[in-house]
Amino acid sequence: MDFDNLFTQICHDLKETGGVSEMSARFSTCTSDAQRISFILATEAVRKCLQEPLNLAKQEMSAPCKSQSLSASHRAEGNTHYQKKLNWKAISSYNRSLLVGEGESLALAYANRSAVFHDMADWLHSLRDILLALDQGYPKHLEHKLRERQGNCWLELGHVTQAFKSFNLAKELLESAGQQHKDKLISITSKIRELGDVVMEVTECMSNATSIEREIIKKRRLAPELNRDSNVLLPAASTSIELTDSLDRGRCLVATEDIHIGTTVIVEKAYASILLAEFKESHCHHCLHWTPGPVPCHRCSQVGFCSTICRDEAATYHRFECGLTDVFHRTRVGNHGLLAVRTVLKTGRDKILIANQQESIDKVYDSSDYGTIHRLVGNTSQRSVADLFRRAVMAVYLMSLMQPDNEPDQVLAEAVLRLLQSYPCNAHEICHLAVPLPGSSGRADHPLQQFGLCEIGAAAMPVLSLINHSCDPNVVRVCYGDVIAIRAIRRIARGQELLDNYGYHYAVHEKSQRQASLSKQYYFRCDCRPCAEDWPLYADARRLASRPDLSEAVDRYVKLRWCEPDGPPEASELAASFIGYLDTMETSVQLPVQEYNNAQEGLKHYFALSATLSRHLVV
């Protein structure tokens, strides 16, 4: 059930019984999350309201996830698209067929999808799907087709020995099938003959689905290297930055040397991440990368992975949420709620108990250590009683969904409540540049928006969370799956603070809106330069009349239409020009001016273009 409706019902029932002010007074005396959770668990009126939606959710969860007949109907739909050469539509139907398939239906869907990948010259995905189809018990009498396709893929990839073996297997299967495939047998025999005497390779390369998937993963774009060695105390960051404390804005990251525009100073892998529900058929549930061919969970039909490797890695937490993913999404608790649950399941009770006992600051900020997540700012003391009450009920509700008897684990519920306070101020959006599939129309209203940045998930990044906000930031986040690189978009002098933008930029949001939103969600009053000097919005900012050289050049570059997924051939030269313009303007021009924003947007677009691409429709 939608949590908002549930909470409204709880508040209504409490009002009816006339106990609101007394309960609110008692709840306000709770001084820790443990006490808040105990309070909710001991409040009969709340527990009573939770029972019915929890029981309904349990009924839903017990319904079978896999269905041979549904899988067959998606596959039939895929076959129709395939016959019409609508390859992407066919893949999409086969993906749906795979999510709900089991046994032979799974094998058939993998095999059919491998045919589309083969036709699209995606040899690695085709090969991987062939092996998975065979693993799933693809019918023996049809296996010769897969072996021949496998041989073709190997040949295209330049693995002649492997191709030779596959064609020979196809030939043996055709021979044992008798006379009915006479023509096929002739053509396979001639393919084998054409290969001639191949030298048998000593090592077996890409012999199973995992090794093929490693090759697929290797071809993805990787985050850039750090500009310097890794900082021992902040392993995700370079030695160009260090952590300090300030009186008025808590912890902050500061440059230890001058940092140039474009430099990569942090590369952090998410401690935990979640994928938005609408991307479950196109993105990996675990690493958030776009994938043309997801592999399904063995048991539920609600998640897909880019590879069997990610599926195995995700088992540590997915075994607890298997079959529950849709129920969690339907609670509409938002990304922070879902991320809180994922974090807790990934961490496990024992590590949470250890973190609870170690409130003191550890010297090393290791992004893979739950302790760094545990210590994120939650602004608890500034939250109202009503806000904390709502979050405590939410934590109990979410954790009760996990338990067959609706009795939540108190330690886990307490950890979820802690994260429900810290994530709204600390979690990061994962955004990929979305490329329109062939045949679809992208947005063309602005040249740089042909490929739209699209939010596909959320992540917990403890080192990135140490960066404070400015309405005129000096760094930008660039996403590579669930890895984020921090790159400078302004010069950062030694001793200056790294400043990110929390979603409210001076060029597009009025000062009053920025201040109100930052204060509501992040509990601080922004005193950055654009706020202090009340800079105008982009549309009202002046243009560089005095520097036509800069103004015209920036305009010319920004107007270039970056239509190909890799940008125009000269994209990296353009990025270098943007950096040059930004450098010049920082020292010689009084900001704000439109050309500065244009060059900065151009550079940010280039960074996004060189990172993860999601080849799906821009909506």
Ligand X SMILES: C[S@@+](CC[C@H](N)C(=O)[O-])C[C@H]1O[C@@H](n2cnc3c(N)ncnc32)[C@H](O)[C@@H]1O
Regarding 295 and contact with ligand X (CB under 6 A), the answer is no
Least distance in Å: CB of 245 to ligand X? Answer: 8
Q: Is 122 helix (H, G, I), strand (E, B) or coil?
A: coil
Q: Which of 38, 523, 537, 589 binds ligand X (CB under 6 A)?
A: 523
**How far from the centroid of its chain's Cα atoms is residue 127's Cα?**
26
* Residue (of 48, 23, 34, 49) closest to 385 by Cα position: 23
Does 466 bind ligand X (CB under 6 A)? Our answer is yes
> In terms of CB distance, is 466 or 507 closer to ligand X?
466
Rounded to whole angstroms, how far apart are CA atoms 313 and 319? 11
CB of 524 to ligand X, least distance (A): 4
459: β partners: 273, 428
Q: How far is the CB of 499 from ligand X (least distance, A)?
A: 7
Pairing of strands 241-246, 250-255: antiparallel
Contacts (CB under 6 A) with ligand X, residues 334-393: 377, 379
Give the integer Cα–Cα distance in Å for 607 and 479.
9
Number of residues near ligand X (by CB under 6 A): 16
- From 136, 468, 551, 614, residue interacting with ligand X (rule: CB under 6 A): 468
For ligand X, the closer of residues 165 and 511 by Cβ is: 511
State which residue, 167 or 365, has the beta carbon closest to ligand X: 365
Find the shortest distance in angstroms from Cβ 503 to ligand X: 12
Q: How far is the CB of 455 from ligand X (least distance, A)?
A: 18
Query: 249 vs 319, which CB is nearer to ligand X?
Result: 249
Work out whether 503 is an interface residue with ligand X (CB under 6 A).
Answer: no
CB-wise, 40 or 466, nearer to ligand X?
Answer: 466
Pick the closest to residue 378 from 465, 470, 497 (CA basis).
465
Phi, psi of 297 (to 5 degrees): -65, 150
Instruction: Count other C-beta atoms under 10 Å from residue 283's C-beta.
Output: 27
The DSSP secondary-structure symbol of 487 reads: E
* Minimum CB–partner distance for residue 473 and ligand X (Å): 10
Tokens of 551: 């103004």
With respect to ligand X, which residue has the nearer C-beta, 203 or 381?
A: 381
Of the pair 277, 361, the CB lying nearest ligand X is at: 361
- Residue 379 beta carbon to ligand X: minimum distance, rounded to whole angstroms: 5
| Encoded tokens for 415 | 């950890």
Shortest distance, position 38 Cβ to ligand X, whole Å = 27
Per-residue interface string for the shown chain with ligand X, residues 411-430, x marking contact by CB under 6 A: --------------xx----
Distance CA 163, CA 145 (A): 14
Q: Which stretch binds ligand X (CB under 6 A): 147-155, 520-528, 569-577, 592-600?
A: 520-528
CB of 447 to ligand X, least distance (A): 32
- What DSSP state is assigned to residue 435? P
Contact between 394 and 5 under an 8 Å Cβ cutoff? The reply is no
CB of 362 to ligand X, least distance (A): 14
Both tokens of 199, joined, read 């030298």
- DSSP per-residue string spanning 510-544: -HHHHHHHHHHHH------HHHHHTPPPGGGSB--
Span from 508-516, 517-525, 535-543, 605-613 in contact with ligand X (CB under 6 A):
517-525
Which residues between 548 and 577 bind ligand X (CB under 6 A)? none
Could you identify the residue written with the tokens 């043996």? 172
Q: How far is CA 5 from CA 18, 383, 402, 462, 482, in A?
A: 20, 22, 20, 32, 32
Residue 517 makes contact with ligand X by CB under 6 A? no
Of all helices (H) and strands (E), which one includes residue 431?
strand 428-434
Q: Does 524 bind ligand X (CB under 6 A)?
A: yes
Q: What x-and-dash track marks residues 436-465 binding ligand X by CB under 6 A? A: -----------------------------x
d(CA 395, CA 475): 34
Closest listed residue to residue 33, CA positions, set 394, 403, 519, 328: 394
Q: Which of 267, 199, 180, 283 is nearest to 227 (CA)?
A: 267
418 contacts 374 by C-beta, under 8 angstroms: yes
The minimum distance between CB 162 and ligand X, in angstroms, equals 50
- Which residues is 492 bridged to in the sheet? 259
CB closer to ligand X out of 499 and 613: 499
Closest approach of ligand X to the CB of residue 552, in Å: 35
Q: Which is nearer to ligand X, 425 or 603 (CB)?
A: 425
Which residue number, 5 or 246, has a Cβ lying nearer to ligand X? 246
Residue (372 or 614) nearer to ligand X, CB: 372
Residues of span 231-250 touching ligand X by CB under 6 A: 249-250
Q: Determine the Cα–Cα distance for residues 241 and 234; give it in Å rounded to an integer.
A: 9
* Chain residue whose CB lies nearest ligand X: 250
Residues that bind ligand X (CB under 6 A): 249-252, 377, 379, 425-426, 465-466, 468-469, 522-524, 526
